[in-house]
Amino acid sequence: MRKTDYAFWTFLLMTGLAGATTLLNVTQTYSATSSQNSELYKQLDLFGDVLERVRSDYVEKPNDTQLIEAAINGMLSSLDPHSSYMSPKNFRDMQVQTRGEFGGLGIEVTMENGVIKVVSPIDDTPAAKAGLMANDLITHLDNEAISGLTLEQAVEKMRGPVNTPITLTVVRKGREQPFDVKVVRDVIRINPVKYHAEGDIGYVKISTFNEQTHANLVKAVEALDKKIGPNVKGFIIDLRNNPGGLLDQAIAVSDDFLEQGAIVLTKGRNNEETQRANAHAGDISDGKKIVVLINGGSASASEIVAGALQDHKRATLIGTRSFGKGSVQTIIPLGANGALRLTTARYYTPSNRSIQARGIEPDIVVAEAIPDDLKAKIGAEKPRGEASLRGHLINPDGTDNDGKNEESGSPSYVAKDADKDTQLQYALDFLHGTAKGPEAASNAPAGSTPAATPSTDSKNKGDNGTKTPPANDDKKPTPN
């Protein structure tokens, strides 16, 4: 046989073997996939059998929509505490929360004795222009009594399309008879950033991370710079009891104080899903000292900001250990059927540490003082964090699956009176260079981390609590 013929037949044989191997692999893969799908369909048949039995034999006629929603929620909640199904209404509410704007009246309200109480009207809103005042009681909406409604239901009735009217029946102290106030709804923006000057220090409170957060933070720092002038000592960024919000806003807020480097890394199931957000040149504080306040109610996006500024040594963290939510949820719309909130990634600080179920330890641990009348109550309660949630994701940096390296959170109560806010007062002393500590606080709650306290002659006294985020002191006012 000639060499050319030999080479030809050898090539043909090798090609045939390669084709047969490929076909075999494809067949095996298809067979495995088919087998997996077959098992899945059997499970779906089981679900269908159970559903039909419940619909036909349950003691009362069930609501089909509620049954399906409960089944979906059961599947998602078995994954982790933060994955869930949102009904169309809950999805709309979530969108309002993240946008930070809605059609409404412009008043913060709470429920008291079965009627709506106005906490305060928001400046330059329809409610303020209509003359509504703090402590007004609203008894009727469009001549329908509020009695029997929850606060959420009443707020939903007060919200609505822009330029539509609503009539409120108001009871006001000093007036004998109730009176009606007609208000036309307008676009109301929820401001997540509040600020004021504490002498030569700028104080900024960020309550959530919605679409307005970054822009309003920039405006707040500019306003404080203008008010305090060139002698500003620094800024306090208060993230206590901030439950989180939008990832892109957390990145933008971190970038506001950083010149370069990583802000956060997110890692999905597969390596190709890893993403890194980087800072850009430009510090809105012009390099001034930054203190970030955190506590057990600081979670998720708050921890991204705190972790980034801590890793870059751009800020000093003061307070107690944060909540410990180190995962990212993606909102997946389902058309007219609501949306899916699904955990799709873990996030890591710039130094590649995961705070999942551990939280962020502040640079200086400061626990608020506990008044005598609250010591017994708070001492009996255990602070809660991510690690205490059933089914939480295990920290990937841990050495075992028993949760031995996890932390249970920290107190999250903040004194309403700034003079009694131990953490705030310590931060002010720190920026002025007069802070003393750290030392163990004799009035720290049992099981708490050793705390730094203000100077011994300070009159600052505060409270500690054990609420999970969002941590509310009493009844949190609801804007509408």
Residue type, 215: A
pLDDT at 368: 77
pLDDT at 369: 72
The DSSP symbol for 208 reads -
**Tokens for 414?**
């903040």
Q: How many whole angstroms separate alpha carbon 210 and alpha carbon 207?
A: 9
Cβ contact 319:362 at 8 Å: yes
Q: What distance lies between CA 228 and its chain's CA centroid?
A: 31
Q: Is 300 a catalytic residue?
A: yes
pLDDT at 457: 34
Backbone CA torsion sign across 56, 61, 64, 69: negative
pLDDT at 9: 53
pLDDT at 319: 95
pLDDT per position as a tens digit, 255-307: 999 999 999 999 999 988 899 999 999 999 999 999 999 999 899 999 999 99
Q: How far is CA 77 from CA 8, 15, 71, 81, 299, in A?
A: 62, 51, 10, 6, 19
User: How do strand 144-145 and strand 137-141 relate by DSSP bridges?
Assistant: antiparallel
pLDDT at 403: 46
Residue 195 CB neighbour total at 10 angstroms: 21
Q: In 227-286, where do the E strands start and end? A: 234-238, 262-267, 275-278
Cβ contact 180:143 at 8 Å: no
pLDDT per residue rounded down to tens, the chain (480 residues): 555 555 555 555 555 555 555 555 545 545 555 666 777 877 888 899 999 999 999 999 999 989 999 999 999 999 999 999 999 988 988 998 898 888 999 888 888 888 899 988 888 899 999 999 988 999 999 999 998 888 888 988 999 999 999 999 999 988 889 999 999 999 988 889 999 999 999 999 999 999 999 999 999 999 999 999 999 999 999 999 999 999 999 999 999 999 999 999 999 999 888 999 999 999 999 999 999 999 998 999 999 999 999 999 999 999 999 999 999 999 999 999 999 999 999 999 999 999 999 999 999 999 977 767 766 766 666 777 899 898 999 998 865 444 457 876 788 878 888 998 999 999 999 999 999 875 433 333 333 333 333 332 333 333 333 233 333 333 445 566
pLDDT at 431: 97
Q: How far is CA 301 from CA 217, 315, 342, 353, 473, in A?
A: 15, 16, 16, 15, 21
pLDDT at 465: 31
Angle at Cα 80 formed by Cα 75 and Cα 86, nearest 5°? 60
Give 50-98 as a DSSP string.
HHHHHHHHSSSPPPHHHHHHHHHHHHHHTT-TT-EEE-HHHHHHHHHHH
pLDDT at 378: 62
Catalytic residue among 285, 298, 300, 412: 300
Q: How many whole angstroms separate alpha carbon 378 and alpha carbon 389?
A: 20
* Longest CA pairwise span in the chain (Å): 118
Q: In 199-333, where do the E strands start and end? A: 201-206, 234-238, 262-267, 275-278, 289-294, 316-319, 327-333
Catalytic residue among 311, 327, 354, 448: 311
Q: How many whole angstroms separate alpha carbon 424 and alpha carbon 426?
A: 5
pLDDT per position as a tens digit, 407-458: 767 888 788 889 989 999 999 999 999 998 754 333 333 333 333 333 323 3
Q: Is 377 a catalytic residue?
A: no
Catalytic residue among 325, 410, 412, 461: 325
Q: Is 311 a catalytic residue?
A: yes
